[in-house]
Amino acid sequence: MSLMRQIAWLVLGVVLASLVGAVGLSTLSLRQLMQTQLALKNADNAQALALALSQQGGDAELIKLLISAQYDTGAYEFVRWRGAQGETLFERTGAAKPGQSPAWFRELVPMEAAPGVAQLSSGWNAIGSVELKSHSSYAHDTLWLASRRLLAWLLVVGIAAAVVAWAGLRRIRRPLDAAVAQAEGVLAGSYGQVAEPRVPELQRLTRAMNAMVQRVRDLFEAQAGQLLVLREQVHHDPLTGVSTRKHFLAELDAALQRDDGPAVAGLVLVRLRDLSGLNARLGRAAVDDVLLTIVTALQAYPESVSGCRVGRLNGGDFALWLPADGVAAETAHALSDALRASLPAFGPGVQVALGAIELPRERPSSVWLGEADAALARAEHLSESRGGFVVDIVADPGVGREQGEGLWRAQLQEAVTRERGRLVEFPVRDRGGHVLHLECPLQLQLQPDGELLPAAAWLPFAARSRLTAAVDLFAVRLALKAIAGDGQARCINVAPASLADASFLPQLRDLLGQWPQATRALLLDLAEAAATEHFERLLELGVQLRPLGVKLGLEHAGAGLAQVERLYQAGLDYVKLDASVLLGVAGEAGRAAFVRGMVIMLRSLALKVYGEGVVDEMDAQALWDCELDGLTGPWVTASLHR
């Protein structure tokens, strides 16, 4: 039994005991008073009757007549005339009237009053005595009525006292509940502070809890800061601050494997020519300034376009990944113009070559790098003859929109309306090989007789047409039907644009309400951008869906997790680390240390941690050693089919 319930029962017991005690004591006191009044009445009536009888000169008939008259006019148990020797000369008796008081009350509170006795005389001669006793039924009735009135008043007072006590208990319970919620929040990874109550004892408790929570939060933030430092050391070039070659290539592989993003993207390579000669002529410090100038020009794009990545491939080679179609050539020429304006200030002979390509994202990373290297080599060769800054552009002949956006919108709407789509299932398993849930990206059949297309082919147009909410609801509906069929948990990707649609959450709740059992096995993945760009909507999504049993998590998580103050409140259940963070972890101790630190940080927020895009068994083993809860990717899928 809870403490508050014990206190409530204690207060109720005290009130009831006080009520019963007050009624009992009052009843007994009133009973004693009534008995005394009855005894006095009997004595007074006996004296008055004796006086009247003594005036009859000893006439027996007159005495009997007066005794009968007295008996008939009063409520008496008996009126008795005794002789001088104590013998009964005349007596009138009768049964007592029941009255209004119940029998149990009369038995519980018996009332006995002494009969009244007075001596009779005729002149100077004693002729006996008279005895009489009044009925107690009227006294019982009066006592019963008084007790009921007293009980009613005390009940009113008791109810009022109970209400006041209940209000007081609620006031006491409020800070206790806040302290419990604060402690549970720490377990769930939330580090909120609680206002101190006015009660001194609870005030000390709350102050101690706040101090403990603040200390835990400080430790967490210190750990997160150390993790950021480690990330900078492992993933970034110490001179320029951009991604190292290995990390950039891992980011490129991860970007090409994702379902979200445009179908066509671009890659720009920039090379500072004759790096060793420049070091000899200008000095290492000046060349470092040249490299930083190139990086400054490149970093203007990630700051303005979400998803862009910049990396240093080697001494003088840099790469810029552009997750957008139709911008690679324009970006390369803009970079060339910017560098042509700034680099000559460092002296003669500072030249760069730029190679830009634009390809469909389904091409493997080796093709991307091969085409980009070839374009860069051609640009460098031309710069030897032309001098200065040369740009070479390569675009795949198949690149470009084959149809207008209006037709895309119509086809997407028809595919969703007619439910022409399916979920492709990729397992997420734990270290023991058990399937935790299935990742289920959606494929759509845009044309009645056409093939099923992955999200990379149609998602950009769905985002432009503001149809992501309808598509995501369709995917959730398919997942709920599948869960209802086999009971296996499934995970659906929700586009960040869907969170911005005001109608998405109400429709999603209505849909989930139709499948209450299957809803408990549903997981929703949101891109890391949801926590940074739509944080308030993410909070509302958690408030609305978590009571239904839906689990929420972030996918493709990486650098954005540095905003740890948002994770305190997000109400997430899990985080899926991006492949760019995990690839090559087996061969590099620094990357493994970073992953292990990130797992520790996320575990302190009570989050499950999964790894995405695992392609190598050695990486998988290294990630298990980092204590991840589950893995997914080509290696996981292949290992389950062995």
**Per residue in 282-298, is it b (16+ CB within 10 Å) or e — as a string?**
beeeebeebbebbbebb
Both 351 and 438 in a single domain? Answer: no
CATH of residue 371's domain is 3.30.70.270
Both 347 and 420 in a single domain? Answer: no
Both 526 and 485 in a single domain? Answer: yes
Report the share of the chain in percent with pLDDT over 90: 19
Q: Which domain covers residue 290, as residue numbers?
A: 245-395
Task: Quote the pLDDT of residue 151.
Answer: 80
- CA-to-CA distance for 387 and 348, rounded, in angstroms? 11
Q: What is the mean pLDDT of the chain?
A: 82
**Per residue in 233-246, is it b (16+ CB within 10 Å) or e — as a string?**
ebbbbeebebbbeb
Both 367 and 492 in a single domain? Answer: no
Both 596 and 458 in a single domain? Answer: yes
User: Which stretches of the chain score pLDDT less than 70?
Assistant: 1-5, 96-98, 182-192, 197-199, 201-202, 216, 218-232, 260-261, 303-306, 383-390, 392-405, 559-569, 640-642
Please state, in angstroms and as integers, the Cα–Cα distance from residue 65 to each residue in 49, 88, 131, following that order. 12, 16, 15
* Residue 139 belongs to some domain of the structure: yes
Task: Quote the pLDDT of residue 302.
Answer: 72
* Residue 232 belongs to some domain of the structure: no
* Residue 631 belongs to some domain of the structure: yes
Nearest to 43 by CA among 131, 137, 138, 140: 131
Contact 428, 439 (CB under 8 A): yes
Nearest to 387 by CA among 355, 351, 354: 351
Nearest to 634 by CA among 615, 612, 611: 615
**How crowded is residue 618: how many other Cβ atoms within 10 Å of its Cβ?**
12
Both 611 and 470 in a single domain? Answer: yes
Both 413 and 360 in a single domain? Answer: no
* Residue 221 belongs to some domain of the structure: no
SS3 assignment, position 168: helix
* Residue 191 belongs to some domain of the structure: no
Task: Quote the pLDDT of residue 318.
Answer: 93
CATH of residue 598's domain is 3.20.20.450
Task: Quote the pLDDT of residue 399.
Answer: 44
Task: Quote the pLDDT of residue 289.
Answer: 92
- CA-to-CA distance for 72 and 40, rounded, in angstroms? 20
pLDDT by residue (tens digit) across 325-360?
788 888 888 888 888 888 888 877 788 888 889 888
Work out how many domains the chain is built from and give that number.
Answer: 3
* Residue 201 belongs to some domain of the structure: no
Both 418 and 372 in a single domain? Answer: no
Out of 159, 179, 204, pick the residue that ends a domain: 159
Both 391 and 409 in a single domain? Answer: no
Both 281 and 137 in a single domain? Answer: no
Nearest to 178 by CA among 211, 205, 214: 205
Task: Return the sign of the alpha-carbon dihedral for residues 16, 19, 20, 25.
Answer: positive
- CA-to-CA distance for 40 and 457, rounded, in angstroms? 110
Helix axes 200-235, 137-187, angle to 10 degrees: 20
